[in-house]
A and B are shown apart, each in its own frame.
Chain A
């Protein structure tokens, strides 16, 4: 019998409106303060690829390219740069709708579906995926669309899984995991295999023709797991806590509890190493948290007074997580000052020179200044660590100059974060003393938080500072 959802007609438009509001909030705040719309260095890595994908000198071997980049590059060539953030928001909106539709199929209770969807929209990970420019936005949408098609037993799920396989390998693994998990529930082996096999072929074909990143596993660290630790790609601790309690409630479902627990732990372990894992875990957290909230609101409380307080605390906790994430996305780099400093470098004719800075700024430097950063966050962190210890923290001028000459570096970008712990922790430590007291170095840009120093590699024409 078809499930009836009378509340959905009223609430779905509200959900869509809230989604738009939540996604527009960081964009509007950044835009109105003159800051580049997309936060995070990662956005500029992908924007950089799209910008250069059509150029002749694009190096396919050095970049981690996926179908997302081809797709966006095609759209940018048709509609211009501003299509990037419109598409990101549209993908967010579509993902919300498919999350809702999937929840309707998987969960029979309407209130749980609505709350799970609300939690999904307000989750920090959702904001992260659809506020920065990343392939995760496309692949999450494809994943939810694939799940929807698969749950409907539509053969449309086959091309979708193939598309996922050439967009993000981690999500491909998660999709396969979903097929296995759903098999325990539906026992439809034939459909599972028919969906799975073509995707393996597409994955292999794409991997041969592109330098496709299989698994971007990082070292598991607790410090990058939660948003409250200042990480924009983190999980909300409040969500995790609610979900664990929700999981505890699922214990009563003796038939499937072991399976649920197994897949939860598997995805949880995956999420410790990988952003895609956190995105998948977030979906589970939304479901289990919704189960808890519905349980608490429907339960007949013995102490009625604390029922309202508890639900209010939960509401406050959710809003608190969301507002914290919105705030982080508004304040995160590139700031207006960093953008202006990098933009100032565009006017120099030295396109062949490199810029030395922390890897966290690498892709932003490449994108905004039209020059090459020596280190980037995707590839240069280990190398930078060595250079930082051996050269940047040392006061050996000849060693430093020799390093700059060897790497054709004529600009050094220094931010307040670098001075306060990211690279140095003391005033005038290492090269900070050298650049201040050596005539070879000249401050060419200075603002409250950013400085650019030029090095006389082969120039005599930096006579005056460009900005002060």
Chain B
């Protein structure tokens, strides 16, 4: 009997990508995905359930489907996408409900994988060059997204203590670049002049989006418990990132950077939230060796992730979005999955 997996955030980028990857895995017997919005990728066998953002129906779904693995991708790390309040609701309340359902008496859940972020470490003046998993940030969080992730990780730690029979894998991803994902940083790198902060050239790290999915598959297949930093090897200065992209920098003033950024947002040029400005000032490095010791091999270094992003954005510039948009039609999806008229090979 294979794994029965529940994915949160199926309609968002990572949930969709993870579901696509898991559908190919013969060890995964059943996938059910939750979201407030419909999936944006074409899925073959994943069952989509519409849920409100705090997942109040989750306990019922877990009981009904008897899932043994939960992949929690629905944590919003990009504060440019929504208000701080909504982000907090999604991250903190969503995770609380998720863990309550997973830890309910008689729950079938045996493995929880959470897609967290290296934002938990922040980016501060007094940071060490490399953060290991057991280290804490050096200054208190200033932004809502950082506070919410720290809260989420706290709940998860309590859950792991209270439920020793459940494997808990907490993955902290560094900034992701790749062929398809859009983040505040990728938008910055696609501008004609890339914002930077005058007099600062911080060292940054990236994970390629394929490596993100491969990490999730890796910890799921091997049921590896613990906290792991996920980031490509090496760090590179922001100036070099911009050079690899074939761009030039537009330096913002080092004093009053927040105000300048607010002006840029006001004229709809780009939204650079405080956590991104911190990164552009101080940079961040996380030690990725614990995951490597567990046996994971990266396909991309930090610079490799930048290059992968550049190639994809060159292609986009020439031919537009090469991936066709997909629109979810409930009736069609239900027909293919459940109609007796459809011949299903695996049965």
Q: Do A and B come from one complex?
A: no
